[in-house]
Amino acid sequence: MRIGFIGLGIMGRPMALNLCKAGYELVVFDINEAPVKELAEAGAVVGASSKDVAQMSEIIITMLPNSPHVREVVTGKDGILEGISSGKIVVDMSSIAPLVSQEMAVVLAKVGADFIDAPVSGGEPKAIDGTLAIMVGGKPEVFNRVKDLLEIMGGSVTLVGEVGSGNTTKLANQIIVALNIAAVSEAMTLATKAGVDPGAVYQAIRGGLAGSTVLDAKMPLILKGDFKPGFRIELHIKDLMNALDTAHAIGAPIPLTSSVMEIMQALKVRGKEKDDHGGLIQFYELLADIEVRG
C-alpha cells in the first residue's frame, strides 16, 4: 500500500521517516527542499505536487501549520482534490479548527473519498521516537483502515468521535498544556524571587500532586534557559486562537486560556514567537526582574 505524506516540517519529517523505517512505500511533497531530499534518501518517492501525491497514493497524510494551509492543499490548484479518487482516504494530522475538518470531509465525500482528522500531541521528541498521542475523529470503519498506520507514529491512538472530534480534543489538550506551562512559570518565578533554588523546588514537587508530564518536559529546559523550539510559541498561539474561536462559537467561556494567550502575544511582540512554548516563563522573568535557572 502506497502512502502519501504532505508537509515535512518539524513534526511531519520525523513522522514520515518512521513510516519509511517501518517499510511503508511513501510518496512525499513539501515546498521546502531539504526534508524532501532527506526522505528521498530514506527511500521515499518525491511527488511534484499535492495532486501528484493524491494520484499516486491510497492514503494521503497531511501535516500542515493551520486551517488555511489544509484548505489550500486539499482544494487549491494542484491540490489533493484534483488527484484523489473514490475509496481513498485523507488523514489530516494537522492541528486546525474542527469546523474546517468537517468542511474538508464534506468536500472529499463528493468524490467518494473519506477524511479523518488525527491531530497529535507530544512535540518533536515524540514525533522522532514514534510515541505521539493521536486523537482521531472519523467513521469507525475508516479509522480501522488506518489504525495500524497511525500506530507506527503514535504511542496511543484513540478514536474520540466523528470528524472534527479529533481537533476538538487537541484544542482541549493545548489548553491544558498552555495553562500548565503558565502555572509552572508563575510558581518557579515566585520560588526563585523568594531565594529558593528552583531546581530543588522542582525535585520536591514532581512526585506529588503538582507533578505532571508538562513539568517534567519543560522544567529541565527552563533551568538551562534552553528555549530552542520543540513546539514554537507561535504555533501554540495558533492553537489557542482556534480554541478561543471554537469556544466563542459554541458559548463555552475559557477565561484562563484568554489570559495565557495574552502572555504569548506579549512574548511575540518581543520577538520570542519562535521560542519553545516553555519560553513562556520569560514573561514572568521580565515582570519579576529575575531568571529562573539552576
Domain layout of the chain by residue ranges: 2-163, 168-288
Question: Contact, 157 vs 91, CB < 8 A?
Answer: no
Residue 294 has pLDDT above 90, yes or no: no
Instruction: Give the model's pLDDT for residue 68.
Output: 96
State the average pLDDT over residues 80-93.
Answer: 98
Question: pLDDT class for 123, splitting at 50, 70, 90?
Answer: confident
Q: How far apart are CA 120 and CA 169, in angstroms?
A: 10
Does 2-163 carry CATH code 3.40.50.300?
A: no
Instruction: Give the model's pLDDT for residue 141.
Output: 98
**CA dihedral over 82, 67, 108, 52, signed as positive or negative:** positive
**CA dihedral over 111, 109, 65, 38, signed as positive or negative:** negative
**H-assigned helices in the chain:** 12-21, 33-41, 50-56, 67-75, 80-83, 98-109, 123-129, 140-153, 165-193, 198-205, 213-224, 233-250, 255-269, 281-288
Find residue 46's DSSP bridge partners. Answer: 28
Instruction: Give the model's pLDDT for residue 174.
Output: 96
Which position has the grid cell 523505517?
21
Question: pLDDT class for 237, splitting at 50, 70, 90?
Answer: very high
For residue 132, give Cα distances in angstroms to 157, 178, 222: 8, 18, 22
Rounded to the nearest integer, the mean pLDDT of the chain is: 97
Fold of domain 168-288:
N-(1-d-carboxylethyl)-l-norvaline Dehydrogenase; domain 2 (1.10.1040)
Q: Which tens digit of pLDDT belongs to each residue from 135-155? A: 999 999 999 999 999 999 999
Contacts (Cβ under 8 Å, ≥6 apart) of 160: 135, 136, 137, 166, 168, 169
**Active site residue ranges:** 170
Residue 230 has pLDDT above 90, yes or no: no
Question: pLDDT class for 122, splitting at 50, 70, 90?
Answer: confident
Instruction: Give the model's pLDDT for residue 217.
Output: 94
The whole-model pTM stands at 0.91
Instruction: Give the model's pLDDT for residue 165.
Output: 98
Q: Which tens digit of pLDDT belongs to each residue from 184-210? A: 999 999 999 999 999 999 999 999 999
Question: pLDDT class for 222, splitting at 50, 70, 90?
Answer: very high
State the average pLDDT over residues 6-12.
Answer: 96
Q: Which long-range contacts (CB under 8 A, 24 or more apart) does 242-251 make?
A: 242/66, 242/67, 242/95, 242/96, 242/97, 242/167, 242/171, 243/171, 243/174, 243/175, 245/97, 246/97, 246/98, 246/99, 246/168, 246/171, 249/99
